[in-house]
Structure formats: C-alpha cells, structure tokens
Amino acid sequence: MNASPQIEERARGGWGWLWRRLGGRSEAALAGPVERCVATAELLLAESSDGQAVHIATALSDMLAALSADEMALFLQRLASAFGPDHARLQAAVNDYLNQPDGASAAWIGAAAQMRAVELLRRLNMTPGATALIVALRAEMLRLGRSEAAVALLAEETRQLLSSWFNRGFLRAEKLDWQSPAAVLESIIRFESVHAIDDWDSLRRRLDGNRRCFAFFHPAMPGVPLIFIEVALTDGMSDRVGPILDGDDRNVPLDAPTHAMFYSINNCHRGLAGISLGDLLIKQVVLDLRTEFPSLKSFATLSPIPGFRTWLTEECRIGRVSDLPEALLDAPDLLHDGGAAGPLRDPLTLLCARYLSGRTANGGSATVSDPVGRFHLSNGARLERINWCADPSPKGVRESFGLMVNYRYVLDTIDANHRAFVGDGRVAISSGVAALLDPPSVSRRIARTSAWIKTAPRPTSRTTTPPASSRHCP
C-alpha cells in the first residue's frame, strides 16, 4: 500500500521541484552534496504542510543515503553545530520563566531548548524506511562523538528520541527458526559476535531441536532484528559452551527440560546503544519459555567474562595480586596443556570470583567492571557459578583464560537483586561463589599455585597445543 512518494516525485520529473524550492537554484548551483543536504534539512524544518514535508523528507533521506563516509561526517558536524536550539528564543523563554515560573512557561522553555536537529530527525522519519537510516546516523554520531563534544551531545539527544520510539510497547518479540525468512537469519549470522556462526548449517543447529532464538523487532524496521538471544534447553546448568555450540545434545527429547541456558545475546545496531533492549528481551523470553515448557525450573546464562584477563594483568602490575607470577599471563597455552594446567584452576577461579563480585583481596568491595557482568547484575541476576575451561577457544582463552560464568535469574529475587546492585553496588552471589571469596582460602591457594608455576616445566614446543579452533578442553 505504501507506495513511496518518491516514485511519485520521480514520475513528475526528478527533483526539479526541490531545487526550485531551494531558492530557484539548480542542483549544480549548490556547493556540493553536503550543502544540498543542509539546505534541504532547513527546508524540511520550515515546511508547514505535512504532505509536502513527506516529499522533502523522502528527498533528504535519499540524499543522505548517497553520501560518502566523509560527507556524512561533515553533515553530522553541521547538524551538531548549526541545528542546535534557537538561543534567542530560548533566552526569551528563560526570561518569561524567571518572571513567572509556572507550568506554561516551563513548557515554553522545554520547547525552545530542543535542538532543531531533533525536530529534523522526527520529520525525516515521515518517509518510510527512515527509521533505520536515523539509527545508522546515530551510530555515526557516536563514533564522531568520541572526539567532538557537540556531536556527542547530538548523539545523546538522538538517543532520547530513539528511546521514545523504541519503547517496549512498540517492540515485538519473535521466535526465529528455520521457517524464518532467509534475510532475517542472515542478520543473525552477521551480528552474532559472542560465539561466531560459521555457516548456515551452524546457524540451523542454533534454531531447532532444543535450541531457541528470540529477537525484538520494531514495526518500522520490518525484517531487521534489533537484538537477539540464543537459548539452549537442557537438563542441568551448562558449564561449558562447546556442547551447546556443537549441538551434541540437540536431539535430547524436549519432554521436560529443566534449565534454559542463555548463551548468547547480541545487539544488531550500534545506533541503538544506550537504549534498553536486552533486559526487556530476557524477561520476555523467560515468560515465553515458561509458558511453552512448564517444566523449566532455572533460567541462567553461560556468559563470557571479557574483562578478566585485562583486569588481572593490571592487578598484577600494580601489585595487588603479588603472588601470581606474570608468567601465567604470558602462558595461556598452559591452559590447553592437559593436566599440566590443573594447578591454575583454583587460583584463577578464585580471582575471577573476586573480579566478578566486586570484592577486593582483603574482603572490601569494589566496583564490578566486567560489562557483561554489570548487564546481568543490574538486570537482577545472581552470580551463580564460575566454570573452568568452559570456553577454550582462542577468544575465550585470550579474554578470560577459558573461564565462563553462569548468571542466574530467579524470578522472586530479581527485583531485590537489581535494587541492591543499582543502589549500593551489592552483588547477589550463590553460596558456591561465596565459598570462593573466603580470603584466607584464596591467598593460600594462590600461594600454592605460584610455587608450582615457578617450578613447572614450560611446554617446550607448541606442537602439543590443540588446534586454536577447538571448542573442547583437553
């Protein structure tokens, strides 16, 4: 039904009408594509007819889509600098407010303080397909915003606009499976960054049998997942990712799974950073799965620990973990070295528990810095269990010595956990993790291992190292 107005325009002879509106100048007379976009943006803001605004928005949308990366950066800088609030108007509104500080004058201030760029984006969205473009523009704003404060401000204001548009009430949760359109599944392959999907066969293993995949969609971006989560239905809390990815247990009958393991969650659009999606998707999926499988008793993640090695390296450097020789940090291959690495298990697990629970060596408390950890803890999950040799892939070893962690979502405690974490920084932990945090025990075991490390024969050759792509521990 929604034939693009642009077809209409083109049918009437291209964009002549637009150049005429732009002061009678021909396309060529305008300085260049960025200049044309800026002029068209001004026109769009000034247009009083909604019907006409749709046409101009369509033209601007097409022009923006045709910009090169450099031109786009230039355009966004112009947007940030020249489409701020109207300061004269704002100043007047402020004076009004100071004279009579009531609701009406406050509302007037609010309107005057708004960036013109935000209104521009709202109007740009009048043309079908513009929502995806605006999300892409914000991704670029975020990139540029790292070095340019004005663009960072624009990115933040755009976040608020998108946050209103990507409100939970407008999102649709959908189950993805082998009956889903190939175009959607291709996005899953493309955006899976936690545990890469090699090909369509691997993808299929994550969609059927006792695997599930759910995504949020927005009606203005049909066929484009916003965020997706992958789940394995099992009969116990998974402690290693290999069997999940290989689908070893895929044919286990689905009569009565007891555990739903969330093993991967991925955002598909950098432009939606800072907009709450993951928390909401997890909770929707918990509801959906509970309805489909009443036998489910436990919802937990099997999560990576992306910041562990970096943190540990730094802890060693500044002397907080004095006993652990740096040798360890240089010798990840030990982890692959069968029995030889065994002695490392205890100290690394203990240190990891400290890292993830925000405890210091002397039992004090610190901020949890692991991004995945912060996400699940602020969602109200509990730090449940740390798993040795759970992800022996090169990435897993590089990031966290192959360790992974289970966060568990217990419905009755989600709310309290969330508030304890967000309010006081307190991390909910299981008794198992609590046992790892007993200070003497930690120090003792680390000391023991250090001694071993110093005397242990280093592997003389890397030929014993298993293939880097191995997903299984020796």
Write out the binding residues for a second copy, residues 271-310 only, by CB under 8 A. Answer: 276, 279-280, 282-284, 287-288, 290-291
Binding region for a second copy (CB under 8 A) out of 27-35, 127-135, 136-144, 316-324: 127-135
* Least distance CB 64 / a second copy (angstroms): 14
* Least distance CB 302 / a second copy (angstroms): 20
Nearer of residues 53 and 453 to a second copy, judged by Cβ: 53
Pick out residues in 192-221 that bind a second copy (CB under 8 A). Answer: 199-200, 204, 214, 219-220
270: contact with a second copy by CB under 8 A = no
CA distance 192 to 208: 17
225: contact with a second copy by CB under 8 A = no
Exposure of 54 in the CB half-sphere (CA atoms within 13 A)? 13
Nearer of residues 108 and 452 to a second copy, judged by Cβ: 108
71: contact with a second copy by CB under 8 A = no
CA-closest candidate to residue 443, choices 320, 328, 278, 260: 320
DSSP single-letter state for residue 424? I
Instruction: Show the DSSP H helices in 263-413 as ranges.
Output: 278-292, 308-317, 326-330, 345-357, 371-378, 394-400
* Least distance CB 109 / a second copy (angstroms): 4
- Candidates 130, 227, 261, 316; binder of a second copy (CB under 8 A) is 130
Nearer of residues 223 and 338 to a second copy, judged by Cβ: 223
Nearer of residues 223 and 371 to a second copy, judged by Cβ: 223
Is the CA virtual torsion 312, 315, 318, 322 positive or negative?
negative
413: contact with a second copy by CB under 8 A = no
* Least distance CB 169 / a second copy (angstroms): 4
125: contact with a second copy by CB under 8 A = yes
Q: Which long-range contacts (CB under 8 A, 24 or more apart) does 157-162 make?
A: 157/115, 157/117, 157/118, 158/117, 158/118, 158/121, 158/134, 159/273, 159/274, 159/275, 160/118, 161/118, 161/121, 161/122, 161/134, 162/134, 162/135, 162/138, 162/271, 162/272, 162/275
Nearer of residues 20 and 317 to a second copy, judged by Cβ: 20
CA angle 229, 417, 232 (to 5 degrees): 25
Structure tokens at 261: 């393991």
Nearer of residues 327 and 411 to a second copy, judged by Cβ: 411
252: contact with a second copy by CB under 8 A = no
Pick out residues in 148-187 that bind a second copy (CB under 8 A). Answer: 149-150, 153, 156-157, 161, 164-165, 167-170, 172-175, 178-183, 185-186
**Binding residue count for a second copy, defined by CB under 8 A:** 93
Pick out residues in 442-471 that bind a second copy (CB under 8 A). Answer: none
CA distance 199 to 220: 29
Nearer of residues 122 and 320 to a second copy, judged by Cβ: 122
Nearer of residues 123 and 240 to a second copy, judged by Cβ: 123
User: If DSSP codes are grouped into helix, strand and coil, which group holds residue 205?
Assistant: helix
Nearer of residues 293 and 355 to a second copy, judged by Cβ: 293
DSSP codes of every residue in 227-284: EEEEEEEESS----SHHHHHTTTTTS--S---EEEEEEEEES-GGGTTS--HHHHHHH
190: contact with a second copy by CB under 8 A = no
- Candidates 84, 257, 347, 396; binder of a second copy (CB under 8 A) is 84
Is the CA virtual torsion 234, 239, 245, 247 positive or negative?
negative
CA distance 47 to 469: 58
Query: Residue 315 is which amino acid?
Result: E
79: contact with a second copy by CB under 8 A = no
Nearer of residues 152 and 473 to a second copy, judged by Cβ: 152
Binding region for a second copy (CB under 8 A) out of 25-33, 105-113, 339-347, 349-357: 105-113
CA angle 433, 391, 225 (to 5 degrees): 100
Tell me the CA distances in angstroms from 350 to 206, 387, 434, one per residue in order.
32, 11, 10
191: contact with a second copy by CB under 8 A = no
Nearer of residues 300 and 321 to a second copy, judged by Cβ: 300
109: contact with a second copy by CB under 8 A = yes
CA-closest candidate to residue 83, choices 123, 54, 53: 123
